[in-house]
């Protein structure tokens, strides 16, 4: 039996669409699921306002109570740590080589291979979420300046008291998903009155994906909570033709392997469902 090329192409497109839909349905944060939340704050381009009742912003929240619940930021704090390090002159640009005290932060058996490279710059340290380098940065910045900037940024509960080099690793500082997107909005619009070069460098290291339709800037974060489960974050913003869209997603899973398998995929699925990607 002969099958036309047109039918074959149609079948391929149908299967591709079906697979995409199933993937989105599989990776979702659903209302009522107490283990996850997703927050999306969209700043819309002015030319679209006439079609949207002149609303300049739109807010979507899945699981409102959890969205307002503060958690440890874990490595999403690297966004803040990076900004402070640049503003205080400890980092000049994304290619600056960064080091850390290997006697104070010796390699541990659980470290991933990407934490054992011979050299890192800001771009690579941010990308692989190199914790010891960022712990060293916090120490170099110092408690006085760190607290001053955390206050200036109105970052979460502003509490860095637990320990200077790990207060964001299930320590004293806590932040909710709603506060994450509000912080990102303040950063993006430079309401914090930072140097333009600082913002440009931050965007450079946060850039995850560029397509003809959008640019995605994001950071992961994960760690063990007090109940021994794993908490995972994916936060950032998307630039597309409709505007800028700030998002924060967090989720709990019993094991890191389970968390890692769904964290980014679920956040991306939510962004697709919202029409942002």
Q: List residues with catalytic annotation.
A: 75
Distances (CA, A) of 163 to 10, 72, 146, 147: 59, 14, 12, 12
CA 191 to chain centre: 19
Give dist(CA 255, CA 267) in Å, integer.
18
Q: At what angle do helices 177-188 and 196-206 cross, to 10 degrees?
A: 130
Name the residue among 198, 153, 166, 180 with its Cα closest to residue 76.
180
Distances (CA, A) of 185 to 6, 57, 153: 47, 11, 11
Beta strands in the chain (DSSP E): 36-44, 57-62, 97-98, 120-121, 207-210, 214-224, 230-240, 243-253
Give dist(CA 133, CA 127) in Å, integer.
12
């Amino acid at each position: 039996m002969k099958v036309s090329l047109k039918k074959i192409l149609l079948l391929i497109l149908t299967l591709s669409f079906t697979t995409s839909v199933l993937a989105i349905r599989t990776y979702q944060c659903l209302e009522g699921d107490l283990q996850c939340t997703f927050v999306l704050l969209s700043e819309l381009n002015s030319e679209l306002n006439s079609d949207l009742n002149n609303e300049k912003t739109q807010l979507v929240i899945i699981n409102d109570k959890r969205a307002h619940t503060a958690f440890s930021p874990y490595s999403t704090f690297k966004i803040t740590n990076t900004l402070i390090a640049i503003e205080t002159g400890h980092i000049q640009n994304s290619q600056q080589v960064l080091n850390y005290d290997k006697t104070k932060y010796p390699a541990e058996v659980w470290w991933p291979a990407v934490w054992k490279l011979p050299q890192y710059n800001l771009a690579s340290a941010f990308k692989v979420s190199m914790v010891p380098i960022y712990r060293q940065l916090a120490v170099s910045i110092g408690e006085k300046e760190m607290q001053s900037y955390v206050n200036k940024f109105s970052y979460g509960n502003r509490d860095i008291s637990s320990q200077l080099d790990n207060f964001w690793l299930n320590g004293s500082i806590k932040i909710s998903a709603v506060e994450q997107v509000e912080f990102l909005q303040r950063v993006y619009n430079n309401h914090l009155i930072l140097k333009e070069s600082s913002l440009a460098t931050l965007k450079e290291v946060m850039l995850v994906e560029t397509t003809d339709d959008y640019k995605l800037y994001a950071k992961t974060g994960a760690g063990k909570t007090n109940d021994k489960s794993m908490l995972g974050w994916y936060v950032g913003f998307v630039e597309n033709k409709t505007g800028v869209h700030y998002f924060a997603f967090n989720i709990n899973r019993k094991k890191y392997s389970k968390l890692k398998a769904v964290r980014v995929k679920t956040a991306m699925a939510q962004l697709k469902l919202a029409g942002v990607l």
